[in-house]
Amino acid sequence: MAYLFTSESVSEGHPDKVADQISDALLDHFLAFDPESKVACETLVTTGQVVLAGEVKSHTYLDVQNIAREVINKIGYTKGEYQFSGDSCGVISLIHEQSQDINQGVDRGAKEEQGAGDQGMMFGYATKETDNYMPLALDISHKILHTLAELRRDGKEINYLRPDAKAQVTIEYSDENVPQRIDTIVVSTQHDAFDSNDEAMLKKIKSDIISILIPKVKSQLPEDIQKLFDDQITYHINPTGKFVIGGPHGDTGLTGRKIIVDTYGGKGAHGGGAFSGKDPSKVDRSAAYAARHIAKNLVAAGVADEILVQVSYAIGVVEPTSIFVETYGTSNVNLSDGEIAKKVRQLFDLRPFAVEERLKLRNPIYLETAAYGHMGKESKKVVKVFESPYNGRVEMEVELFTWEKLDMVDDVKVAFGL
């Protein structure tokens, strides 16, 4: 019997994502001026206020208020009627120094002996159902909101959009786990107040989403995925009615509350640790990226059509405490999942410092991860500029989303005889 599976995404203007982006902007600035910084920054946003908290060990000093305001303005919260604006909100900093009890377990004389910044388990996942090895429902949800943001910034085809939005996609699968069609699309988007009545407003928004947004999203997808869009899709567009009050004025936002949006949309598994605001010594982040890198390269090499990788650590301990692989019965090699996991341990060095080095995680590459997912993006090199009244100006080329590179496929094929 066919089944349905659903994933959701949220826009860069969603209050939780505003908080994530501020936290990662702070992290990037710390790393730009002191690559050895240890950072765990949390952000809370609400009506007219931003609260920054967390622990930092760094040789640099930042104007954290200005960084937060720049992020908020870039997202699009620039008007007084939003009740939250980068130019007018209050910014309170409660950031303090990292506990020495934690730091002593991480920093060692030799960097190669760096211990994990925390205990816990982290997961990576990959599937062949999309070109970027991501779950299809989540991939389409991200594209809906990213395209909606482009329409908002352009302001020509749809001129009433505000920054806050959510999307959800439900896909019908066959018994063989093959996508058959898109069953339901949900889009809730914040908008300006309309002069006309609510019914006319909702009709206009629904028409624009279906006739302008969805075709633009569809055009970005491969032909086989485009065929899943048919005239039987159920659309729920702003199903609660008007959505004028939104963003941090409508809902308080916190760093780390969208971990499923950030990863695989409910496919695979999640260890529970959030990413944004954490430097790579925190394996919540770095090991999750490493696990994604492993899973993606294994699937791309043909080891299996779908793979979940789990890695676990003990705080202050160098080697992972376990590595687990699940292929969901899709393995293409004559090995058990346990035997695949043993080969993974031999192929990939999962000591925290080795992960940092292999994936170049001590660079300021994190703001770009904080909206529309940490996984499934294109790895690319960009030039970033950081300016500070205390540290001057730094311009550097960095590589984004290194964990998405298929740079281990040949090694995996050799190891597995593919």
Q: Where are the domains of the chain?
A: 3-8+136-245, 15-109, 120-128+269-275+282-416
| 156 marked among binding-site residues | no
Which residues neighbour 130 within 8 Å (Cβ) at sequence distance 6 or greater?
Answer: 136, 139, 225, 376
Query: Any binding-site annotation on 166?
Result: yes
Same fold, 15-109 and 120-128+269-275+282-416: yes
- Name the pLDDT band for 33 (thresholds 50, 70, 90): very high
| 243 annotated among ligand-binding-site residues | yes
Q: Is 42 annotated as a binding residue?
A: yes
Residue range 357-415, pLDDT digits in tens: 999 999 999 999 999 999 999 999 999 999 988 888 999 999 999 999 999 999 999 99
Q: Is 16 flagged in the annotation as binding?
A: yes
pLDDT in tens, 261-291: 999 999 999 999 999 999 999 999 999 999 9
Which pLDDT value is given to residue 257? 97
Confirm or deny that 415 is annotated as ligand binding.
no
Q: Is 98 annotated as a binding residue?
A: yes
Contact of 400 with 365, CB cutoff 8 Å: yes
Architecture of the 3-8+136-245 domain: 2-Layer Sandwich (3.30)
Instruction: Write out the CATH class of domain 15-109.
Output: alpha beta
User: Is residue 357 marked as binding?
Assistant: no
Is 107 assigned to a binding site? no
**pTM greater than 0.85:** yes
| CA atoms of 275 and 285, how far apart (whole Å) | 5
According to the annotation, is 274 in a ligand binding site? yes
Is 416 annotated as contributing to ligand binding?
no
Q: What is the model's pLDDT at position 118? A: 79
Answer yes or no: is 249 a known binding residue.
no
Phi, psi of 259 (to 5 degrees): -70, -25
| 14 known ligand binder | yes
Confidence band of 112 (pLDDT split at 50, 70, 90): low
The partner residues of 49 in beta bridges, in order of sequence, read 46, 90
Q: Is 381 annotated as a binding residue?
A: no
Does 70 show up as a binding residue in the annotation?
no
In CATH terms, the fold of domain 120-128+269-275+282-416 is GMP Synthetase; Chain A, domain 3 (3.30.300)
